[in-house]
Amino acid sequence: MTKRFYIETYGCQMNKNDSEVMIMSMEREGFVHTENLDDSDIAIYNTCSVRSHAETRVLARMRLGKKRVRGKKGILAVTGCMAQRMGSDLVKKGLADIAVGPYESPDIGGIIRLFLNGRGKNVFTSQEAANFHDRIMAEPGGFGDASWHRWVTITHGCENFCSYCIVPYVRGKLISFKSDTILSYIKTLAETGTKEITLLGQNVNQYGTDSGDIPFHRLLEKAAAVRGLIRINFITSHPKDFSPDIIKIIRDNGNISRSIHLPLQSGSDRILTLMNRNYDMSRYMGIVELIHRNLESYSLTTDIITGFPGETADDFDDTLACVRRIRFDDAFMYSYSPRENTPAAGIQEDLSGVEKLQRLNRLIAIQRGISREKLLERLNMHERIIVECISKKSRLEVMGKTFLNHPVVIPGNKEDIGKDFIVTIKNLKGNTLQGIRLDR
Ligand code: SAH
Ligand code: SF4
Ligand code: F3S
């Protein structure tokens, strides 16, 4: 009898892409995807370990999933970063039946088939090169039905070892996929209807440094030259490796996104050193200046951690001052969360959870105001958008994103999805820009 699988995805875009690869692998083995947990025989939880909150949330979901899928004698699989970090424990405790880490999850269909036949083992967390399965799969049509947007993972893992971060431990060393494979995959996508891609890596600027392949800016340039792509995005950049060449390539190619995500983490040089980020504020500001001088229109977004161990009131004020000075379009802001076995977890924390949160909330309030002002600057501008979906608020409207990655709602219908339009921004409602098509 056909078995159905359900999948829930947490964490970063790489996990989203991994889930797509897993869906493909499961479908190849004859399993059928369902959006409904109660209707599934196999529930897959593709998890994230980056902060303890992320883990607690998934564990609660898994407990619920276990009851519902097991009610029908189904199985529960944990994949992704928590599978790598604590998969064997989760299996031992009975919360998961099988744990498959990021190295082997692209082959999850075969793994689960063997397991169901009673022949497979139940913990797959090797980080041996031999067990690494390439995740770029250049099949016509990509993953399932042709779609306007695709994630394209260009590197796996991370070797930067920022002192607070668990990613290098759970994802393993930097592995750059071959540029030829990536580019022929992108061509296949473009030929089969994809209009927009996002190149993914924990630090895309390090692309090729492990394998001696072309540098990131060349890969970006070659991707931009693929016919048929309306927009190319890339995340994440690391200030220590971000080269001026990237800005030139963006400037010279109208189909590369003007939204640059450049995680700052802290505005204090002392804290940046403790974080092992390998840049200081003067380097960061140098990049911001260069972007400003070279790109007519751009948006800058960032990640910031508050309450890193040893962060004084002065260090925190430095971060606030940077945020006010740089005026990011948006920021992902987090309260520091100690992660087991990372160097920062060994540093004594002086702040209580409440104090860390107070700092976070002060930062969020300031950034919110700036984000709103930046959005208001877009009023009356002409922007190019790619339509993504029907608006959540009205069936007579659609939502698309601009080249600065701002969501804009315009009148439209489902026929518009995947198409690009030039719009005039007319209004800001809540945090959403509203526009009208120029050709209507
Ligand atoms: N590779 C990317 C993203 C890593 S995870 C980068 O280098 O920027 C996404 C964000 O989570 C990080 O940028 C950081 O701001 C945050 N983060 C990572 N570890 C954290 C921790 N232990 N506590 C709080 N935030 C953390
Ligand atoms: Fe973590 Fe730093 Fe690697 Fe980003 S670059 S994934 S923050 S270790
Ligand atoms: Fe989370 Fe793993 Fe991504 S820890 S942020 S899912 S690499």
Please name the amino acid found at residue 302. T
Q: Same domain for 51 and 153?
A: no
403-438: pLDDT as tens digits: 999 999 999 999 999 999 999 999 999 889 999 998
pLDDT at 139: 59
Query: Is residue 263 lining ligand 1, measured as CB closer than 6 Å?
Result: yes
pLDDT at 132: 86
Q: Whose CA is nearest to atom 11 of ligand 1?
A: 50
CATH number at residue 75: 3.40.50.12160
Residue at 150 is within a domain = yes
Q: Same domain for 43 and 153?
A: no
Residue at 136 is within a domain = no
Range 334-356 average pLDDT: 94
Judged against a pLDDT cut of 80, whether residue 69 lies above it is answered with yes
Q: What is the C-alpha separation between 111 and 125, in angstroms, rounded?
A: 12
Instruction: State in Å: Cα 335 to ligand 3 middle.
Output: 16
Q: What is the C-alpha separation between 129 and 125, in angstroms, rounded?
A: 12
Query: Is residue 50 lining ligand 1, measured as CB closer than 6 Å?
Result: yes
Instruction: State in Å: Cα 90 to ligand 3 middle.
Output: 18
The pTM of this model reads 0.95
Q: Same domain for 234 and 358?
A: yes
Q: How many angstroms separate the first and last alpha carbons of the chain?
A: 52
Residue at 293 is within a domain = yes
Judged against a pLDDT cut of 60, whether residue 11 lies above it is answered with yes
Q: Whose CA is nearest to atom 3 of ligand 3?
A: 12
Query: Is residue 12 lining ligand 3, measured as CB closer than 6 Å?
Result: yes
Instruction: State in Å: Cα 332 to ligand 3 middle.
Output: 15
Could you identify the residue written with the tokens 């056909």?
Answer: 2
Q: What is the C-alpha separation between 177 and 206, in angstroms, rounded?
A: 12
15-64: pLDDT as tens digits: 999 999 999 999 999 999 999 999 999 999 999 999 999 999 999 999 99
Q: What is the C-alpha separation between 124 and 96, in angstroms, rounded?
A: 13
Domain boundary among 74, 103, 131: 131
Residue at 127 is within a domain = yes
Q: Whose CA is nearest to atom 12 of ligand 1?
A: 303
Residue at 281 is within a domain = yes
Which ligand has its closest atom nearest to the C-alpha of 266? 1
Q: Same domain for 104 and 18?
A: yes
393-405: pLDDT as tens digits: 888 999 999 999 9
CATH number at residue 386: 2.40.50
Instruction: State in Å: Cα 161 to ligand 2 middle.
Output: 6
Judged against a pLDDT cut of 70, whether residue 141 lies above it is answered with no
Of 85, 8, 10, residue with least CA distance to 40: 8
Q: Same domain for 204 and 123?
A: no
Report residue 440's pLDDT band, with 50, 70 and 90 as the boundaries.
low
DSSP state of 256: B
Pocket test for ligand 2, best of 51, 81, 202 (most atoms within 8 A of CB): 202
Q: What is the C-alpha separation between 124 and 126, in angstroms, rounded?
A: 6
Query: Is residue 204 lining ligand 1, measured as CB closer than 6 Å?
Result: no
Of 222, 179, 180, 184, residue with least CA distance to 201: 179
Residue at 137 is within a domain = no
Range 296-301 average pLDDT: 96
Mean pLDDT estimate for the chain: 94
CATH number at residue 157: 3.80.30.20
Residue at 260 is within a domain = yes
Domain boundary among 105, 131, 157: 131
Range 370-393 average pLDDT: 95
99-128: pLDDT as tens digits: 999 999 999 999 999 999 987 789 999 998
The H or E element that residue 333 is part of is strand 330-335
What percent of the chain lies above the pLDDT cut of 70? 97
The answer to whether the CB of 258 falls within 8 A of the CB of 299 is yes
Q: Same domain for 122 and 179?
A: no
pLDDT at 71: 72
Q: Whose CA is nearest to atom 2 of ligand 1?
A: 202
Instruction: State in Å: Cα 417 to ligand 2 middle.
Output: 34
The residues with which 303 forms a beta bridge, in sequence order, are 332
Torsion of Cα atoms, 132 then 138 then 139 then 144, to 10°:
70
Q: Same domain for 389 and 427?
A: yes
Q: Please list every protein residue whose CB sits less than 6 Å from any atom of ligand 2.
A: 158, 160-162, 165, 167-168, 202-203, 238
The answer to whether the CB of 262 falls within 8 A of the CB of 326 is no
In total, the chain counts a number of residues equal to 440
Instruction: State in Å: Cα 200 to ligand 2 middle.
Output: 13
pLDDT at 439: 75
Residue at 10 is within a domain = yes
Domain boundary among 131, 163, 184: 131
Q: Whose CA is nearest to atom 21 of ligand 1?
A: 337
Instruction: State in Å: Cα 83 to ligand 3 middle.
Output: 11
Alpha-helical (H) ranges within 266-418 are 269-274, 281-294, 313-326, 353-376
Q: Same domain for 207 and 307?
A: yes
Range 190-214 average pLDDT: 95
> What is the atom index within ligand 1 of the atom nearest the CA of 158?
1
Q: Same domain for 220 and 298?
A: yes
Q: Whose CA is nearest to atom 4 of ligand 2?
A: 202
Q: Domains in the chain: how many in total?
A: 3
> What is the atom index within ligand 2 of the atom nearest the CA of 165?
1
The answer to whether the CB of 46 falls within 8 A of the CB of 18 is yes
Could you identify the residue written with the tokens 């097991």?
Answer: 70
> Whole domain around residue 23: which residue ranges?
4-131
Q: Same domain for 155 and 126?
A: no
Instruction: State in Å: Cα 278 to ligand 1 middle.
Output: 15
pLDDT at 391: 92
Q: Same domain for 318 and 336?
A: yes
The H or E element that residue 92 is part of is helix 81-92
Q: Same domain for 192 and 95?
A: no
Judged against a pLDDT cut of 70, whether residue 142 lies above it is answered with no
Judged against a pLDDT cut of 60, whether residue 320 lies above it is answered with yes
Report residue 137's pLDDT band, with 50, 70 and 90 as the boundaries.
low
Instruction: State in Å: Cα 239 to ligand 1 middle.
Output: 14
Instruction: State in Å: Cα 88 to ligand 3 middle.
Output: 18
Q: Whose CA is nearest to atom 1 of ligand 3?
A: 48
pLDDT at 144: 47
Is the CA virtual torsion 244, 242, 323, 319 positive or negative? negative
